[in-house]
Amino acid sequence: MRCKIPPTWTTHRRTNVSQDQETRLERLEIDLAHANHTIDELNGVVVDQGKQIDRLSRLLSNMTDQLEEIIDKLPGHQVEKPPHY
């Protein structure tokens, strides 16, 4: 003879598992929402930093060009080509 599990126990057990799964699923959804929010914030930071890097690169290039012009105008700083050119 097999031992039968009372129906109330199996129903109760399934309900607990369902509640546990529901709780886990809810927690995962909350964690995912927070992760997505963090990703969106970090993406904004990366975009802003990219713009700032581009701006600073242009500024550095302009300043380098200006400095080279100033150096070229200094007396005695003319670069002369060797006679064999």
Instruction: Report the b/e string of 67-80 with b at 16+ CB within 10 A.
Output: eeeeeeeeeeeeee
Q: What is the pLDDT of residue 30?
A: 98
Question: What pTM value is reported for the model?
Answer: 0.58
CB 77 within 8 A of CB 71: yes
At residue 82 the predicted structure's pLDDT band, cuts being 50, 70 and 90, is: confident
State the DSSP string of 31-48.
Answer: HHHHHHHHHHHHHHHHHH
At residue 84 the predicted structure's pLDDT band, cuts being 50, 70 and 90, is: confident
Q: Could you tell me the end-to-end alpha-carbon distance of the chain, in angstroms, rounded to an integer?
A: 110
Q: What is the pLDDT of residue 1?
A: 53
Structure tokens at 69: 């012009």
Q: What CA–CA distance (Å, rounded) separates 37 from 43?
A: 10
At residue 7 the predicted structure's pLDDT band, cuts being 50, 70 and 90, is: low
At residue 76 the predicted structure's pLDDT band, cuts being 50, 70 and 90, is: confident
